[in-house]
Amino acid sequence: MGSKPFFQKGFGGETEGAQPSGNACIRVCNPHYNQKGTKKTMSDFNVIVIGAGPGGYVCALKAAALGLKTAVVEERDVGGTCLNRGCIPTKALLHASEVYAEAKGAEAYGVTVGSCAFDFTKMHEKKSETVAKLRGGIESLFKSAGVTLLRGKGVVEGSGKVRAGETLYTADSIVIATGSTPARPPIPGLSQEGVITSDELLEGEATFDESLVIIGGGVIGVEFASVYARLGCRVTVIEALPRLLARMDKDLSQNLQMLLKKKGVKVLTDAMVKEIVRDGDGALTVRYETKGKEGAAQGSRVLVAIGRRPNAAGLFAPGVEVETNRGAIVVNDRFETSLPGVYAIGDVSSKIQLAHVASAQGTVVAEEIAGVAASVDLSTVPSCIYVSPEIGSVGLIEEEAAEQGYDVKTAKVMMYANGKTLIVGGERGFMKLVFDGATRRILGAHLMCERATDMISEFSAAIVNGLTVEQMASVIRPHPTFNEAVSELFEAAARL
């Protein structure tokens, strides 16, 4: 999605409680806005957003902040996949399992924990408590921003017309933000009991599996493998491609694969699943083929995590056509679909299915509808994976940079000499930088270390702002921190 042409650096946008910005002044003096600064309309709403996930709710809040009369239609809980059965619940379970793993290793730091056990039901309860708090937060934000929440399924009846439940509403613009659902490949035996997706695992009953087979060694696969392996489950990951996280930097994949194996996870790559059958003893057997040889992995349940499909089922009334590509709604770089006045954002239309991408697109599309310049640069997207140690990656990997004709240079530092890493007993980690030897600009960064998911934003800021290796090396970073390794990385790069 190349929205760069209409991104303008230096545009402030509006934040709650801020002094009137340039845009607020424009609204007050604008004949299209009433005295309260709300855009005039003959429709029920200026904007109706369908779906209240991170794309939809951020879009609605931004639209309301920009003076648009806004409604959101949601058929389930607000917060979407991310809050209810995605980002937040997985990270809550990852954290709970990490607390358990740390408690087991506490002796090494002179802390006696006594007997150490876990209660999976309580871990799920704690997760649900966090989710409920955040959900309540979104509903309050809607109320305070004046966003109308319409409960029910949203159906586009044509340009400017949305049916929410039984009621037909009109809107000047419609934003589709209906997200995605887990993909289910046509594997024999997939529909039987015990074969689940992340939806059932996170929203269903808290059932701890002594053994789990995960089909798919992508992001969901490796995060769940981490949770379950930490709790002592026998985990097998079956991945069709030659390595885990196949689209990421090779060193990240290799290091992760090695660390997962060290924790007892069986990782099978280049493996194609043939069928899933139930054995006489009640367990499930996944039969696969790898490099011409047949094999089998057994588990009490099977988690299918092979990607997610855009969710547009039943979204358009009969006779309403919109262009799609393999189920994804096709949009231009202003997020317009083939139906006039109808936009699409987030997982339902985006090549990158991440919450922060959906939210950033939500902000930009609201600005587009309000007629103000985009405040977010959508060209640089960080990806984070919450395994141990964490993974943070942004920009180009070496191979991509070479394909694009850059004078590719790379620098790498290992984390074993970093003081903070030694203090916390961090696992084998590294930071890798990809930059252009000709301009010295940073092209990509790939971190696998403690707090990589927080530290990656420093590299995103450098890429978005076209900063050089030398500019980044000139910054003092505090001691002792994991971040000191960033200085070391840029110093190493500056020598190249």
Q: Which residues of this chain interact with ligand FAD, rule CB under 6 A?
A: 50-56, 73-76, 80-82, 86-87, 90, 153-154, 177-180, 198, 220, 311, 315, 346-347, 353-356, 358
Residue 212 binding ligand NAI, by CB under 6 A: no
- The residue within the footprint of ligand NAI, chosen from 209, 223, 368, 458 (CB under 6 A), is 223
Nearest approach, Cβ of residue 264 and ligand FAD (Å): 22
Partner that binds at residue 218, options ligand FAD, ligand NAI, none, CB closer than 5 to 8 Å by kind = ligand NAI
- Map the footprint of ligand NAI across residues 444-463, applying CB under 6 A: none
Binder of residue 209, out of ligand FAD, ligand NAI, none (CB less than 5 to 8 A by kind) = none
State how far the Cα of 305 lies from the Cα of 198, in Å rounded to an integer.
7
Residue closer to ligand FAD, measured from CB, 176 or 370: 176
Angle among Cα 59, 63, 68 to the nearest 5 degrees reads 150
Three-state secondary structure readout of 30-68: CCCECCCCCECCCCCEEEEEECCCHHHHHHHHHHHHCCC
Could you tell me the smallest distance in angstroms from the CB atom of residue 111 to ligand NAI? 30
Tell me which residue has tokens 């998911």.
453
73 interface partner picked from ligand FAD, ligand NAI, none, CB below 5 to 8 A per type: ligand FAD
Tell me the closest approach of the beta carbon of residue 379 to ligand FAD, in angstroms.
Answer: 17
User: Strand 442-448 vs strand 324-325: parallel, antiparallel, or unpaired?
Assistant: unpaired
How far is 177 from 366, CA to CA, in rounded Å? 12
Q: In this structure, which amino acid lies at residue 60?
A: A
Residue (87 or 448) nearer to ligand FAD, CB: 87
The DSSP H or E segment spanning 23 is: helix 22-28
Which residue's entry shows tokens 């040889």? 293
Q: Does 54 bind ligand NAI (CB under 6 A)?
A: no
Dihedrals φ, ψ of 97, to 5°?
A: -70, -30
215 binds, among ligand NAI, ligand FAD, none (CB under 5 to 8 A by kind): ligand NAI
Nearer to ligand NAI, 347 or 488 (CB): 347
Residue closer to ligand FAD by CB (options 102, 199) is 199
Minimum distance from residue 449 beta carbon to ligand FAD (Å): 18
User: Of these, 65, 83, 92, 219, which contacts ligand NAI (CB under 6 A)?
Assistant: 219
Query: Residue 54 or 160: which CB sits closer to ligand NAI?
Result: 54
Task: Decide if 118 contacts 104 (C-beta within 8 A).
Answer: no
221 binds, among ligand NAI, ligand FAD, none (CB under 5 to 8 A by kind): ligand NAI
What is the C-alpha radius of gyration for the chain, rounded to an integer number of angstroms?
Answer: 24
Q: Which does 310 bind (CB under 5 to 8 A by kind): ligand FAD, ligand NAI, none?
A: none
Closest CA to 136 of 121, 175, 144, 50: 144
Report the residue number whose CB is nearest to ligand NAI. Answer: 218
Residue pair 228/209 in contact by the 8 Å Cβ criterion? yes
Q: For residue 316, give the DSSP letter.
A: B
Q: Which of 52, 83, 220, 456 binds ligand NAI (CB under 6 A)?
A: 220
Rounded Cα–Cα distance for residues 109 and 422 (Å): 12
Among 83, 94, 385, 472, which residue interacts with ligand NAI (rule: CB under 6 A)?
385
362 binding ligand NAI? (CB under 6 A): no
Rounded to whole angstroms, the Cα distance separating 360 from 381 reads 10
CB of 408 to ligand NAI, least distance (A): 25
Which amino acid, residue 276?
I
Q: Which is nearer to ligand NAI, 150 or 302 (CB)?
A: 302
Axis crossing angle, helix 120-145 with helix 87-104, rounded to the nearest 10: 140
List C-alpha distances in Å: 445 to 245, 262, 286, 381, 409: 16, 25, 37, 11, 12
Of these partners, ligand FAD, ligand NAI, none, which one is at the site of residue 349 (CB under 5 to 8 Å by kind)? none
Residue 177 binding partner per list ligand FAD, ligand NAI, none, with a CB distance cut-off of 5 to 8 Å that depends on partner kind? ligand FAD
Residue whose CB is less far from ligand FAD, 219 or 401: 219
Number of helices and strands in the chain (H, E): 14, 24
Cβ nearer to ligand NAI, comparing 171 with 273: 273
From the list 32, 95, 124, 479, the catalytic residue is: 479
Long-range contacts of 129-136 (CB under 8 A, 24+ apart): 130/88, 130/92, 131/79, 131/83, 131/84, 131/88, 131/89, 131/92, 134/79, 134/83, 134/88, 135/77, 135/78, 135/79, 135/83, 135/84
Instruction: Name the residue nearer to ligand FAD (CB basis): 126 or 153.
Output: 153
Cα separations in angstroms, 430 against 105, 222, 223, 250: 23, 19, 19, 13
> Of 194, 232, 307, 341, which lies in the binding site for ligand NAI, with binding defined by CB under 6 A?
307
Residues 256-285 that bind ligand NAI (CB under 6 A): 273
Residue 356 annotated among the catalytic residues of the structure: no
Which SS3 state, helix, strand or coil, does residue 393 take?
strand
Among ligand NAI, ligand FAD, none, residue 392 binds (CB under 5-8 Å by kind): none
Q: Report the distance separating Cα 353 and Cα 83, nearest Å.
A: 14
Name the segment binding ligand NAI (CB under 6 A); options: 14-22, 97-105, 233-241, 473-481: 233-241
So which residues are the catalytic ones? 479
Contact positions toward ligand NAI, by CB under 6 A?
Answer: 185, 215-221, 223, 238-241, 246, 273, 305-308, 353-354, 384-386
